[in-house]
Structures are given as C-alpha cells and as structure tokens.
Amino acid sequence: MDAYLDIETTGLSPAFAVPTVVGIAVDFPGDWFVEQLVGDEITAAAILRVLEGVTSIYTFNGASFDLPFLAQRPGVDLRRRFRHHDLRWTCYHAGLTGGLKAIEQKLNIVRNLPDMDGRDAIDLWRKYEDEGNQSALDMLLEYNREDVENLHTLRRILERNNAAK
C-alpha cells in the first residue's frame, strides 16, 4: 500500500518553524483518499493512524525536507517505519530537474493554483492564524491537496517512462 506525503510549514527549519498542514494521499487497492492534518491535529499518533497499512511513502524532496522535519516536529521518524521513495531523485535520473511545479509544467500536469508556492503557503497560514480567515486555510488545503495528488500522477508518468521502480 502506498501513500503520497507533503507538508506545509511556517519556515524551513524545524528548530524555528512548525508544520501547519500534513497532507497524505493513501492509495489502497480500490480505495483512494486524502487526509490533511492541520495545526494542533499534527501529532505523531495522528500521522501514524493515517498511514496504517501503508508500506511505501512517496514524496518530492522528502528525504531532505518533509521526513526530517516530521522527525523533529512532531517527532515521528517515518524513514524508520516505511520504505521511502523521493521522486525528486527519480526525476533527476530521468533528466527532469527543478522543483515539483517546474517538473509538473514540463510534463503537462495541471494545477488549479499554478502560481502558488511555499511562501504563499506561509502567508495563507498566517492569515488563518492571525485573522481566522477560513478562505485562506481553504486555499492552503487546496494547494497541499494538489501537491499530494500530483505526486501520484508524477509517479505514474515516471513509471510509464520506465524511470521509476
């Protein structure tokens, strides 16, 4: 069973930042769902609950960012519990360089929020936290959902091109 994981945070370092959204798309045979943990919902136990039955996790740059971040905050080391496939490196070996959004453009993977990036995600979280702006949170969740869903699409394209194993 596979899962696709992406996090949003208030910054790049878990020493100074916190996770704001953990998005996980789970692909069980015949059952696909996306669960997003937000703010205080982000606990080690909650993440492991969503990943119950999963054997492999797919990320983009997760070996360098998402998984080490979660190992510190909230303190769950997914690298020890699951097989991890960082699609950033699969893309690199297939001659696809750049960030996730740049690679999606090269492969014609569509987004509803194509101009949004990690800085926008931080700003949206601040609007939600400081002002209680629900539409800012909704947009942040849509952005994160597109990330995890597009990881699945990216993996399938790479597999069709015989680049992923």
The pLDDT of residue 65 = 97
The pLDDT of residue 120 = 95
Angstrom distances, CA of residue 67 to CA of 44, 105, 136, 165: 12, 25, 25, 21
The pLDDT of residue 165 = 44
What is the CATH architecture of 2-160? Answer: 2-Layer Sandwich (3.30)
Q: Which helix (H) or strand (E) holds 102?
A: helix 100-106
The pLDDT of residue 140 = 97
pTM score, two decimals? 0.94
* Alpha carbons 65 and 161: distance in angstroms, whole number: 26
The pLDDT of residue 163 = 45
The pLDDT of residue 31 = 87
User: What residue ranges of the chain have pLDDT lower than 70?
Assistant: 162-165
- pLDDT cut 90: percent of the chain above it: 89
* Alpha carbons 77 and 68: distance in angstroms, whole number: 7
The pLDDT of residue 97 = 95
The pLDDT of residue 104 = 95
